[in-house]
Structure 1
Amino acid sequence: MALTQRPSLVFANSKGEIIDYEGLEMAGSSAGEFRRLEPEELIPLPVGSELFVLPGRLPVGIEPESGEPALLDENPYDGSSEISAVAAFMAPAHTAVYSAAYQTQENAPLLPLFAYTAVGWQDGRFVVAAFRSDSDIRQDPNGFNQKQIDKKTAAKLKKYPHNRLIQHLGKCCLTYACPAARNYFLGRWEAPLPTSPCCNAGCVGCISQQPSGCCPSTQDRIHFVPSTSELLEIAVPHLETAERAVVSFGQGCEGEPLLQAPTLESSIRQMRAQTSKGTINLNTNASIPAAVDRLAQAGLDSIRVSMNSARTEFHRRYYRPKNFSFAEVRQTIEVMKRHGRHVSLNYFILPGFTDSPDEFAALCELLEACQPDLIQLRNLNMDPEHYLKTVGHAPSQPALGILRWLELLKTQFPRLKFGYFNPALR
């Protein structure tokens, strides 16, 4: 079904009901700059996405005739002023082109740690300013059968009552519906191996630990360091039997896995002593190059380096690192490439910041110098205004636009790949 009319703005009334308003077009935000949406920037709301009401924020749309931004400050159907902006939190494998467009009111609460994509109404359905960034179906919501998940999880928890990590993943699966944990219990694709209860960074957008009084973390952090035997009991059977098998240290429910480097090194060596199958991956802040060198020698196949910015100062302001800097991050990438291993950048996407000309130039320099293999186009899960204020975003030129930014990267770096997930290399 082709999209025809321009999308209309949506808002939430005082009851939380989401309503469309044809008097204004849907708008998108590029770091606070409001934009009119083009057809190529829109897709139907992906299955499994959620719509969020944004408290203390009034929706901004586009005047159809002038094309100028316009604030909607009351319900156009009953004259009530109690309305709120609406955003989409998209299903995995989709990347935002624009953030939700709104004006924040005085004393508005900080938004929770999710991504806030522009959403509107067009041709009888919701649409978002986004694109599908990975064709891999491993986390598609329609691929999960809850009855099957419950049955297989219960069976494995009963079979391994003394494996603390399996029990922890059971909570991740059944309480938080973690897609990686669900896939582990279903015996397929990428399985998580969280290992570290501590961290050497204080990321502003950390999803597993936040200071009291801040926006709450979205999940509990692991509180123990698994033993090598506990890790092997998960990893080896998964690597041996799962389709496109990947096991990954470094998950949302832990700190920095490199702080447990001796445990990781021992586990990787024993995994590879027992099987040559599958991909052993590390998701990391890349803070300890020497540890990564040892892990590569032990048999680590790939790393995914989390990165909000390719600029030192912006990286520091977000990560708030303890005893490391962006220089170590670059060294870690270089270490893995010297070993001939795969490197992904888990590059947090925020429209207006990521595609600013200065950030684009810094990323191009890093890509040229360090030669990573893949950029994972992950949406930044954080209140956009709070993020921009935290890092001190003050652009000197207009943003390129996310689609144009991506097109330029593909042209300048034809060997570089783009996606959303850690690839299966074996």
Structure 2
Amino acid sequence: MQIKKFPESNLMQNPCLVVSDCNGNIFEIPDVGMAAFTGVKNVVPDETDMIPLPEGSMFFTLPGRAATGYDNSSKKFITITEYANKRVFPVAAFMPPGYVRTLHSAYTELKGAPPLPLYCYTATGWKNDRFYVAGNRIDRRIRHKIADTDFSRIDMQAAALLRRHKGNRLVEHLVNNCVFKYRCPNACNLALVRWECPVPVSKACNAACIGCISSQNKSSGFPSSQHRLDFIPGVEEILDYVVPHIKNAPDPIISFGQGCEGEPLLQAELIEEAIRKIRMSSRRGILNINTNAGIPDALEALCKAGLDSMRVSLNSAQDNFYQAYYRPRNYSFEDVKKSILIAKRYNVWVSLNYLVFPGFTDNPSEIAAFLKLAKDAKIDMIQMRNLNIDPQLLCRKMFFDKLSGNPVGIVKWIEIIKKEIPNVITGYFNPTITTIKASHVYLPKVKLR
């Protein structure tokens, strides 16, 4: 396997630097080029790393930081804190689901800079009267594109769901917390009776991820993105809304393990009972678990009960970097790999929910380790998800500066993945029956209902 270094850029094509003023107004600086951060160093982005800003993206102003741009005259990176007698700040984009970031926003932290909240900070520029971002579309399905849906319709159907399941704590959590407060795409789709149905079950976790979105200690310096489930539902509360969904929704997926909970395998007995009873009511759809896969025996019990697919989250295929980010309690990376092999033995579809971080994911040592894991375990799918966290904070905590070798770039990394393991599906969303049927290579492996 040959790996090229990060490509040199065509400076003539470089977008302009984009900044924000104190009032949140975003504008370009015409005589300064855009810069981006590879996770190792600042670069002028290559055209292959850039795409027009996707619809549904958001912009963030980065406080306590100075914008980094590229001076085309001196051919040097420069730091900008003022422009046209105004204090200015760096700007980053947050792309919608289905896109992976190829480069981080470039900036310099100032003294006392607060940690950034748990989002993805994508390099952004301005060119030919439009915004450009460092991104790559890896899934063209629109399962999480709820911005185009009339929210009054979502709210009306969510309220109706609440009335139909009055007294069901889990439905109350999903509607009041996930739909109304956070606009969670899966919870909204539950209200709209389509696709994936979320089933959070665990209020505890056996990991303490640096970037956990549902639980953070005050010492982290940034809040969790959402409120974690604070009760354990009963099996009847699960069946009450899940069975109607799997019977009536198009391409239904019932997913245990959500961002608003801990580790679902800690409630394996509850999930096992739910799986068996769901299948007594309907053979439609996919029964899935999103998990860290740290409890092999619990996972095997679910496979025996009738689990169809498993999505395993990991930031790295290297034990030391996995341990450093997940900070597991009472399990190891070897347990994760054991669970994957168990699932494959039971013909369960296995996806790796790979948390992509430019500068690390595309480092030669990580590429080699990931390819070995994917080939050895014969995984079915790679779901590429952006690792949402302050990029410079993560680089410090994970000691990425000690990595040997240069990153190849995320675009090149995707090319390598597709070339080295061509039969593995790449995408973003959990697979439906339709997705699995379309992947003819895997059809014999999975129990299709």
Matches of 2:150 and 2:254, distance apart in 1 = 22
2:298 aligns with 291
- Cα distance in 1 for residues equivalent to 2:248 and 2:18: 47
Match of 1:168 in 2: 173
- The 5-angstrom pairing of residues 23-422 of structure 1 reads 23-65=31-73, 67-75=75-83, 77-78=84-85, 80=86, 82-171=87-176, 172-213=178-219, 214-393=221-400, 394-422=402-430
Structure 2 distance, partners of 1:235, 1:328, is 30
With 39-48 and 293-302 compared, the bigger mean Cα shift is at 39-48
What code does the residue aligned with 1:92 have? P
How far apart are residue 144 of structure 1 and its match? Answer: 2.0
Write the distance in 1 (CA, Å) between the matches of 2:295 and 2:19.
46
Task: Report the residue type matching 1:46 in the other structure.
Answer: P
Kindly state the Cα deviation for residue 39 of structure 1 after the two structures are TM-superposed.
2.2
Percent identical residues: 43
One-letter amino acid of the structure 2 residue matched with residue 139 of structure 1 = H
Cα distance between partner residues in 2 of 1:143 and 1:137 = 10
In 1, the alpha carbon distance for the partners of 2:59 and 2:275 equals: 41
Q: Distance in 1 between matches of 2:254 and 2:21?
A: 45
Inter-partner Cα distance in structure 1 for 2:378 and 2:13: 43
User: Do 1:32 and 1:101's aligned partners in 2 also have CA atoms closer than 8 Å?
Assistant: no
Structure 1 residue identity aligned to 2:355:
F
Asked if the contact 2:165/2:241 (under 8 Å) is kept, the reply is: no
Give me the whole-angstrom Cα distance separating, in 2, the residues matched to 1:313 and 1:240: 44
Structure 2 residue runs without a partner (length 5+)? 1-11, 434-447
- Tell me the secondary structure at the aligned position of residue 82 of structure 2: coil
Q: Assess if the C-alpha contact under 8 Å between 1:93 and 1:420 holds in 2.
A: yes
With the length of structure 2 as denominator, give the TM-score of the two structures.
Answer: 0.91
2:32 and 2:55 map into 1 onto residues whose CA distance is: 26
Distance 1:231 1:161 in 2: 13
- Amino acid aligned to 1:159: R
Provide the rounded CA distance (Å) in 1 between the counterparts of 2:336 and 2:408: 26
For residue 233 of structure 1, report the CA deviation from its aligned partner. 1.5
Q: Give the C-alpha shift of residue 53 in structure 1.
A: 0.5
Shift of 1:62: 2.0
Q: Deviations over 1:91-119 (max 9, x none)?
A: 11110010101111111000001111111
In the alignment, the residues of structure 2 paired with residue 22 and residue 131 of structure 1 have an alpha-carbon distance, to the nearest angstrom, of 25
Instruction: Answer yes or no: is the 8 Å Cα contact 1:47–1:141 preserved in 2.
Output: no
Give the 3-state SS of the residue equivalent to 2:403 in structure 1: coil
Corresponding pairs, count: 420
Contact 1:95 1:131 in 2 (8 A): yes
1:342-389 deviations in Å (ceiling 9; x for gaps): 111111111111101111111111112111111111000111111122
**Residue 437 of structure 2: aligned partner:** none
Distance, in Å, in 2 between the alignment partners of 1:5 and 1:315 is 38
Q: CA deviation at 1:5?
A: 5.0
Q: What secondary structure sits across from 2:216 in the alignment? A: coil
User: Residues 269-292 of structure 1, C-alpha deviation per residue, up to 9 Å, x if partnerless?
Assistant: 111111110001100011001111
Aligned-residue offset at 1:141: 3.5
The runs of at least 4 consecutive aligned structure 1 residues that moved more than 3 Å come to 65-68
TM-score between both structures, scaled by the size of structure 1 = 0.96
Gaps of 5+ in 1: none
Alignment partner, residue 424 of structure 1:
432
3-state SS in 1 of match to 2:280: helix
Tell me the equivalent position of 1:20: 28
1:304-340 alpha-carbon deviations (Å, 9 max, x no partner) = 1010111101111111110001000101111111111
Deviation of the 1:68 alpha carbon: 3.6
Alpha-carbon contact 2:13-2:47 (below 8 Å) kept: no
Between the aligned partners of 2:101 and 2:167, the Cα distance in structure 1 is 42
CA distance in 1, matches of 2:241, 2:146: 24
Alignment root-mean-square deviation, CA: 1.3
Match of 1:415, SS state, is coil
Please report how far the alpha carbon of residue 143 of structure 1 lies from its aligned counterpart in structure 2 after TM superposition: 3.8
Between the aligned partners of 1:102 and 1:119, the Cα distance in structure 2 is 12
Q: Match of 2:202, as an amino acid?
A: S
Give per-residue Cα distances to partners, 1:16-42, cap 9 Å, x unaligned: 221101111112211141121222221
Distance 1:5 1:321 in 2: 45
Counterpart amino acid of residue 187 in structure 1: V
The structural deviation recorded for 1:419 is 0.4
Deviation at 1:149? 0.5
Give the aligned residue type for 1:128. Answer: V
